[in-house]
Amino acid sequence: MAEQKHVNENTKNEALQPYRKDADEKLTTNQGVKVNDTDNSLKVGTRGPSLKEDFHFQEKLTHFDRERIPERVVHARGSGAHGYFQPYESMAEFTKAKFLQDPSIKTPVFVRFSTVGGSRGSADTVRDVRGFSVKFYTEDGNYDLVGNNIPVFFIQDAIKFPDIVHAIKPEPDHEMPQASTAHPSFWDFISLVPESMHMVMWILSDRTLPRSLRMMQGFGVHTFRWVNAEGKSRFVKYHWKPLLGVHSNVFDEAQKLAGKDPDFHRRDLWDAIDMGDYPEYELGVQIIEESDEHKFDFDILDATKLIPEELVPVRPIGKMVLNRNPNNFFAETEQVAFQPSNVVPGIDFSDDPLLQGRLFSYHDTQLHRLGSPNFVHLPINRPVCPFHNNQQDGRMQMEIKTTRVNYSPNSLGENRPAVSSEAEGAYVHYPERVEGSKVRERSPSFKDHFSQATLFWNSLSPVEKDHLVAAAHFELGKVGDQGVRERMVERFNHVDHELAKRVAQGIGVAAPTQPVTKNHGQSSEALSQMNTTKTAKGRKVAILAADGVEAAQIMTIKQALKAVGVIAEVVSKFKGTIKSAEGQAIEVDKTFLTSASPMFDAVYIPGGLKSVEALKMNGEAVHFINEAFKHCKPIAATAEGVDLLQTSNVQDVAQLDKFVQDDQGIVATPSTDANEIAKVFINAIAQHRHWKRAHKDAVPA
């Protein structure tokens, strides 16, 4: 067997590298002419008219006037990162895709995370589906796995895609609301399209409020096809699992983050990579034999359905690590062009009617948005392998071709570029046998719209169910049309009778008296975030302090947290430094004005009588603690710091003996030795939230 040349993460790829700069780096025009003044245009005298011959002025302004390109219709707001993918073992039994063969090879990737409904200027933390798209730069060409953070979709057929997007987007008469589905047109559409109900359950769940992009799951959504070297085909579903676990914001803090830091997710991803705390995701697949295609009580080609992991377990096959931030947001994150039609040998499509439409729509969108079919020449979109064809000219043509022929077949150029055989690595579509009449119909196997919505509801924990109902109250509570609200309650009654009654109670609609269908009682553990990985790694802790704080306690907690990958930042009234009780200068990382408890995963209050007394008199500090308590986050205190808990009224700690830690995530000790609580505090942080916390709704925050 001939030796194969593999692509790895260190492969020199000029397309992915920043432009080279001179050491001198003098300002020039685009033609390389050095410029002596870029602050004043060329004029006749100091107060005379500007001259048209000022080519630097003309170039600078004309380029500026054309800086913007059309934003994406959906997924407009995104964040990107470079990294690599490495398989755990060879997948040769299932696919001949080369990047899935050798565990020693790292394939470069570029990932773009995004919201769906909002514009480029909208906030990161709105309730929305998230895009999760990965471009693999393989030796056989680019492969794009274009997915979302939810495994199902609103519609079954791509012909309805313009309708669902129009309904989600701001209403055309007044262009409101921005980045929100809490408006009449969306719910009017949903109430009339029952196939959307499974997706709606996910939309209303905590899945649409990810804590960070590092803690967000991804799915390929569609059923794809893998083909091995022998030509055997199997169906496959893709799953990306973050190694930090799948965790979410609560809606209240998501809304507050949208105002306090609308770039919260983008900033978190950038900072994590910048600090070397690289986000990691495990790729898993569900593999279905062709002979098992019809064995389920749903159609695996229906994009509104998932395959429960109890029926087909997810097999981990590799890991993706994001280890480099983009050099230029526009050139990379904004100009990257993902297309589901970008596949490599060994990966093919199924007959999913939503996927089939996306194969056309994504390419058509890139042609419009980037202005030319030559968008593949842009550095972020170029493959790392050689590419040759007879396509020519057009805007943005960046290839300087030296051949005298641009057609096939030809004899003047020795018939190059020549086609390849399958044995030479050419892409050959799987020869699926298809027959039937031309019809505009939906398969009868696509008609069940509610059983998996019920499965999702049954799989949620009581807390997750409460959050879903509250989300429905918020979303539908903003819909003024009584008929739409009544239809939605009727749809929920198809999912679960108790759910429908709870939703009706909060939106001014009469509750249904009888269930439409009996709840089948089936559930899947994988659908609840309560069963995800729990780790303190990657979390952020706010240390509340003022002048007179005990520095030793801060250092002890910081060292313990750093050892397990937790970042701790000092939050105080003013930026700069505060002076500890021992006279040390302690750097302040954030202020109460520029930060808030939703930006952190936990709170620690060190001792120091003067510090605590100052914080007691600071309403922002007390609010910080109340808010963290309300959002069920861990709170720790040592020495006099315990007194601040009593001031904030979030926990009765009056009877403290030596040590306290209860099931509500409050860790406190009157001791000045922070080592006594460090381990327990870290364990509390790893739990993400402490939902059993009593009386949290009574806390004013």
Closest listed residue to residue 151, CA positions, set 204, 198, 219, 200: 219
| DSSP codes, 401-435 | ---S--SSS-STTTT-SPP--GGGT----------
Cβ-based burial of 324 (10 A; exposed 0-12, middle 13-18, buried ≥19)? middle
Q: Which residues have CB under 8 Å from 471's CB, separation 6+? A: 127, 204, 205, 251
Copy the structure tokens of residue 512.
Answer: 């249904």
Angle of the 184-192 helix axis to the 482-495 helix axis, nearest 10:
50
Find the catalytic residue in 56, 142, 148, 239: 148
According to DSSP, residue 317 is labeled E
| DSSP codes, 473-485 | HHHHHT---HHHH
Do residues 288 and 315 touch, judged by C-beta distance below 8 A? Answer: no
Find the catalytic residue in 75, 183, 198, 497: 75
**Beta strand segments in 126-185, E:** 130-138, 141-148
Closest listed residue to residue 549, CA positions, set 507, 516, 581: 581
Give catalytic status of residue 148 as yes or no: yes
Residue 409 phi, psi (nearest 5): -80, 165
Residue 276 phi, psi (nearest 5): 85, 10
Give catalytic status of residue 493 as yes or no: no
Do residues 540 and 556 touch, judged by C-beta distance below 8 A? Answer: no
Q: Which residues have CB under 8 Å from 446's CB, separation 6+? A: 156, 195, 299, 302, 304
**Catalytic machinery residues:** 75, 148
